[in-house]
Structure 1
């Protein structure tokens, strides 16, 4: 008995020592973590190539390298690791070489990283490579002047612009900006490169449309048929893409392709909504793609359609499944399609039977995506993350044999950080709806203490807080500041059925506001370790909108943080780029439905603003333009409401530079600390 007691004592002391060595996460830790991007599986299933981005805070930039690892997780080694960026590895179909992107072109190397050979040499650059099955052709995209017949013309046009003393733009159409860039005259075109002939073909020569589309595309919007005789791709041909979500799927018979002329293409999708991500069945008889039914709505349910290449018929195999499909992957035998989908706070993996629509869930928890299935169909390789783990590569047996972890590139760093697993609770929202919230306790949590509450509101609004490791709005990082974090998924959130998503449109400050405040009340009433005297709220994009709405509708929070938030719906309409979004959400334009814009615009309730507010915005944010922050901050200052404005002249909708991000975190925590009671 004494030996057992002694053993238990030693184990307890060891556990305490391990805990004592851990620490709360810092913003510097976020930028010290390696970030896995794309990956590929060798044809024989023995190797995985993947790219990893690391950041240097002092240099204020990142660098991307390529690594190899055996598919059983052994023998991790660098393939390409230089001060330049190498990314997007793709095994050749014979498995003997790896293509990758480097200095704006596509290169090849052997499996040891040697014998480099430049595959493309095109003036306008090449990216997004896709192999044909026989390895004799590739697809890639490149930004060109649509009316230029060749690369010499593109080079001359660029040179003329560079040498011109006049930098003015003549803008004649929408959309002239997107997210954080001016579109200019160039368009992204799809190119075919025949390696045997050493010839390039612009498959949409002369078109003013983009492939992939400017927005609302998928993980892959162009691909070869298995026999290499056809190409499927996605493009929006509407005259005004700023008001259109009508991406469509097209096919080109490569026998009709001739150099210097546009190839004839055929549209196979029929919906006026968003169609994308064509994927050929292994036998080449069908094309699966995602499809939204409703025109103008970017967050409609993504159904999986099956196009019969022989008959031209279309079948919706997820019509009765209330899930919105993410990536779609055929099983090698063509009987099933695997897909990921938002599922409450997770992004789960499912399998649907193509012939009868029967559904099976493969992985529920965590956030899972970027699937590749082995040729024998026995394993799915995918990326997986949780709030306690950034993306790593995992594998899953399709016979139900369980999940195994392949990479662990941040394991050593994470081992020294104290995390609490996310919890969830459900509260009653408007009209009796059940609203799920994530709750994360601060590190080294003591149930006998009181902690301030940080109430986080997600963007979208058709998005959701999930069990992921976000490098900007990281729930664990907010908790590491000593806060109990509550992150609700109110109306508009994905993962709870399409009806729940739909019920925010036209009602931005209505049911969703009740959902949020009821979740806030539930947390205060049911978690006695929350200090009700010290509660704060923060959000970005639509979350920032809701912070501004809260400003005019309650004074229950000590202080607020609004990042890239919408303030004035009418001026927002006139300066944003994707007009389909406000026109759907507010049922028209400001001149056809002004009452709805006025009803839900936070600026109209400025007379009630009292709560101290930190405003954050980037100059290159064209989604929610900087004027929204100017109007908000001017209003706060003019009313005498305590406020500060953190303005980034070199950022957009997101904060992407390491030193800017460190300032972002410090400013937010300092602001919240200032208003603790």
Structure 2
């Protein structure tokens, strides 16, 4: 019996394209592609090569380049065409049998076996390559006071032999998403590329031995000649807050110069132009309590003078990904817009903004070709997983040309449409609506409302973790709205709910739910609601403000905001909008769902991972306890080893199975069936 892809055992086996990289000469495309690992209990990634021509022009099938039990991550080309990538695979030439940390490996341009070219005691994380010189810069966690790899190894050995795992913190942050920060911290090192026949990179030179925590989560980019590294640099601003500046570091001397810094803005994601004269940056503000909400734009900086300007000053776009054209005269960027993520081109001289793509796709990983004719990118949508495409670099509202993909080409078990309505304040609220194949006026489908996370994002593309088609295949319609706080609709959409998440967003999602339920192909008497992170916050808010839903699923959700504010991994960012509970209690009183725990009547499935540091497990535990105290029909699906996301294949299956069983029980009245492995 052949199973469809939306059966859970098959779903977790699907290959997933996670990035795209074009060689400097424009002849090769490489993508990391994840899939079920050899042990069947984890996802591993391998590198695949993709033909730059479509099948209609003779493009060949993708071919796998790497294969290891540990998998391979990001990849970048060296000037000679060889491929540098990160992997935690064991080095066959290493003398030690210790479990290896992530290292840098190289795959020769002409083929052959990959070999390790750089390793450090703290592993290797992000890396970048100078386009022309081939100089390599990479980050590695290093203990304070360790001037060499040998000294760092000794520091690690001393802690291990003494049985010490403690970390002494003197500033924030202390953890991030699902990982502890310290006792070692990242440093940027540079090394010359392997010479012909050489076995490894050259000597590792530490560019910032005094960095401390300044390079935590930093990314960087080298100038084409390798003379300077441009990187993020965190600066303490008092009361545990940080600001992210951009600095340049001379790779020969280590001399550091601040390139971009503003008191109320952060900069990130540096991309140096091919001619080495300018740097593209993401510039954003976390907003102010009494002023404007968050903002995000694309910033252009002169590398010599530090003079900067907003490339999107006349456009309220929220850029997500960007890249330089080969001639350094224009920039390509993907930005949220009206439930889509089109690709745009900005001419630097005139400032003219042109939308390249006119479809409903969500684009990412733009890679302009060196001849200026094309942009290679990943395209996804709610009805298509990420896959490589070729675009005309000069088009206006053009269509993508699909390339042969190493990922999964899928046929959806239903249809995708859009609906919209008008909120009580006159604002337009739009939404995607996924409908099962059998939905009709004669056979209306039960509805599940999903509210996205963020909240500063948009429901505009494919999700492996929250996939509505798995519900559609089981007969449910799924509503995917962009309410207040969603990006892609201008700053006014953020202003509407800035500091008032609960009441304003609730009104929006109720309005669009009303519009969906008014359709003849929707059964308004059988509705449920789901959300994760901010969507989980809205699930909790909705539970205390209406009983119109038959069931609610609350994943990784905020419940008691006063406790959450100091235990999340980045409290200062949160406080820019909400203040602190003691000094500024008003927004906590207005917005905290736990204050209406006594009003909850709807059955609730609580889901939380213990390693979630963005929304700590205490939120899920307190929510669960409050529901029990008020005798709500509730269950708690707890993952001891997962974080904000459920990432392991087995746990992902259980996540979906439990949700399906919970919805079937409460929406359809079926007998509760506990998933077998729980």
TM-score (normalised: structure 2):
0.89
Tell me, yes or no, if structure 1 residue 372 matches structure 2 residue 367: yes
Query: Residue 127 of structure 1 aligns to a residue in which SS?
Result: coil
Does the 8 A contact of 2:270 with 2:282 survive in 1?
A: yes
Aligned counterpart in structure 2 of residue 534 of structure 1, from 509, 526, 531: 526
Aligned counterpart in structure 2 of residue 426 of structure 1, from 416, 420, 425: 420
Query: Residue 512 of structure 1 aligns to a residue in which SS?
Result: helix
Using the TM superposition, name which of 38-47 and 23-32 deviates more: 23-32
More helix as a share of residues: 1
Aligned counterpart in structure 1 of residue 203 of structure 2, from 192, 199, 205: 199
Cα distance, 1:653 vs structure 2: 0.6
Aligned counterpart in structure 1 of residue 640 of structure 2, from 649, 656, 673: 649
Cα distance, 1:135 vs structure 2: 3.7
- Whole-angstrom CA distance in 2 between matches of 1:167 and 1:116: 35
Does the 8 A contact of 2:134 with 2:226 survive in 1?
A: no
Tell me, yes or no, if structure 1 residue 60 matches structure 2 residue 41: yes
1:485 aligns with 478
Equivalent residues in 2 for 1:143-542, closer than 5 Å = 143-195=141-193, 198-211=202-215, 213-214=216-217, 221-238=219-236, 243-244=241-242, 246-257=243-254, 263-270=255-262, 272-293=264-285, 300-364=294-358, 365-400=360-395, 402-411=399-408, 414=410, 417-466=411-460, 468-525=461-518, 527-542=519-534
Using the TM superposition, name which of 638-647 and 387-396 deviates more: 387-396
- Whole-angstrom CA distance in 1 between matches of 2:653 and 2:114: 38
**Residues 650, 21 of structure 1: CA spacing in aligned structure 2 closer, same or farther, 3 A cutoff?**
closer
**Residues 418, 391 of structure 1: CA spacing in aligned structure 2 closer, same or farther, 3 A cutoff?**
closer
- Whole-angstrom CA distance in 2 between matches of 1:333 and 1:169: 48
Cα distance, 1:539 vs structure 2: 0.5
Cα distance, 1:402 vs structure 2: 4.4
Aligned counterpart in structure 2 of residue 554 of structure 1, from 543, 546, 557: 546
- Whole-angstrom CA distance in 2 between matches of 1:452 and 1:616: 22
**Residues 447, 24 of structure 1: CA spacing in aligned structure 2 closer, same or farther, 3 A cutoff?**
farther
- Whole-angstrom CA distance in 2 between matches of 1:310 and 1:56: 47
Tell me, yes or no, if structure 1 residue 34 matches structure 2 residue 15: yes
Aligned counterpart in structure 2 of residue 85 of structure 1, from 54, 62, 71: 71
Does the 8 A contact of 1:146 with 1:207 survive in 2?
A: no
Deviation string, structure 1 residues 156-184 (Cα, Å, up to 9, x no partner) = 12112212235444444322121111112
2:595 aligns with 604
- Whole-angstrom CA distance in 2 between matches of 1:571 and 1:616: 18
Cα distance, 1:83 vs structure 2: 2.5
Using the TM superposition, name which of 475-484 and 400-409 deviates more: 400-409
Equivalent residues in 2 for 1:611-630, closer than 5 Å = 611-630=602-621
- Whole-angstrom CA distance in 2 between matches of 1:392 and 1:143: 33
- Whole-angstrom CA distance in 2 between matches of 1:480 and 1:644: 24
Cα distance, 1:329 vs structure 2: 1.6
Aligned counterpart in structure 1 of residue 666 of structure 2, from 667, 672, 675: 675
**Residues 631, 148 of structure 1: CA spacing in aligned structure 2 closer, same or farther, 3 A cutoff?**
same
**Residues 91, 485 of structure 1: CA spacing in aligned structure 2 closer, same or farther, 3 A cutoff?**
same
1:634 aligns with 625
Structure 2 unaligned residues grouped into runs of 5+ = 54-58, 89-101, 196-200, 670-678
Does the 8 A contact of 1:34 with 1:410 survive in 2?
A: yes
Query: Residue 513 of structure 1 aligns to a residue in which SS?
Result: helix
- Whole-angstrom CA distance in 2 between matches of 1:381 and 1:242: 42
Deviation string, structure 1 residues 498-545 (Cα, Å, up to 9, x no partner) = 2212322210112211111111111112x1121122110010111111
Deviation string, structure 1 residues 260-286 (Cα, Å, up to 9, x no partner) = xxx433333335312112222232222
Does the 8 A contact of 2:265 with 2:286 survive in 1?
A: yes
Tell me, yes or no, if structure 1 residue 99 matches structure 2 residue 84: yes
- Whole-angstrom CA distance in 2 between matches of 1:249 and 1:631: 40
Tell me, yes or no, if structure 1 residue 69 matches structure 2 residue 50: yes
Structure 1 unaligned residues grouped into runs of 5+ = 1-19, 258-262
Query: Residue 237 of structure 1 aligns to a residue in which SS?
Result: strand
Cα distance, 1:611 vs structure 2: 0.8
1:589 aligns with 580
- Whole-angstrom CA distance in 2 between matches of 1:522 and 1:157: 62
- Whole-angstrom CA distance in 2 between matches of 1:242 and 1:386: 39
Deviation string, structure 1 residues 452-491 (Cα, Å, up to 9, x no partner) = 110111111112211x221111122222221111111110
- Whole-angstrom CA distance in 1 between matches of 2:134 and 2:325: 24
Query: Residue 208 of structure 2 aligns to a residue in which SS?
Result: coil
- Whole-angstrom CA distance in 2 between matches of 1:162 and 1:361: 55
- Whole-angstrom CA distance in 2 between matches of 1:563 and 1:572: 15
- Whole-angstrom CA distance in 2 between matches of 1:57 and 1:275: 40
- Whole-angstrom CA distance in 2 between matches of 1:332 and 1:658: 40
**Aligned Cα root-mean-square deviation (Å):** 2.3
- Whole-angstrom CA distance in 1 between matches of 2:38 and 2:540: 33
**Residues 311, 662 of structure 1: CA spacing in aligned structure 2 closer, same or farther, 3 A cutoff?**
closer
Does the 8 A contact of 1:456 with 1:487 survive in 2?
A: yes
Deviation string, structure 1 residues 585-641 (Cα, Å, up to 9, x no partner) = 31x111111122122111111121111111110001111111111111111111111
- Whole-angstrom CA distance in 1 between matches of 2:346 and 2:151: 48
Query: Residue 247 of structure 1 aligns to a residue in which SS?
Result: strand
**Residues 201, 574 of structure 1: CA spacing in aligned structure 2 closer, same or farther, 3 A cutoff?**
same
1:5 aligns with none
- Whole-angstrom CA distance in 1 between matches of 2:50 and 2:366: 17
Does the 8 A contact of 1:55 with 1:62 survive in 2?
A: yes
1:4 aligns with none
Aligned counterpart in structure 1 of residue 556 of structure 2, from 561, 564, 568: 564
Cα distance, 1:77 vs structure 2: 1.7
**Residues 574, 306 of structure 1: CA spacing in aligned structure 2 closer, same or farther, 3 A cutoff?**
closer
**Residues 21, 207 of structure 1: CA spacing in aligned structure 2 closer, same or farther, 3 A cutoff?**
closer
Does the 8 A contact of 1:388 with 1:419 survive in 2?
A: no
- Whole-angstrom CA distance in 2 between matches of 1:644 and 1:617: 11
Using the TM superposition, name which of 319-328 and 190-199 deviates more: 190-199
Using the TM superposition, name which of 99-108 and 400-409 deviates more: 400-409
TM-score (normalised: structure 1):
0.90
Query: Residue 119 of structure 1 aligns to a residue in which SS?
Result: strand
Cα distance, 1:337 vs structure 2: 1.1
Does the 8 A contact of 2:484 with 2:505 survive in 1?
A: yes
- Whole-angstrom CA distance in 2 between matches of 1:75 and 1:23: 23
- Whole-angstrom CA distance in 2 between matches of 1:58 and 1:281: 43
**Residues 380, 255 of structure 1: CA spacing in aligned structure 2 closer, same or farther, 3 A cutoff?**
same
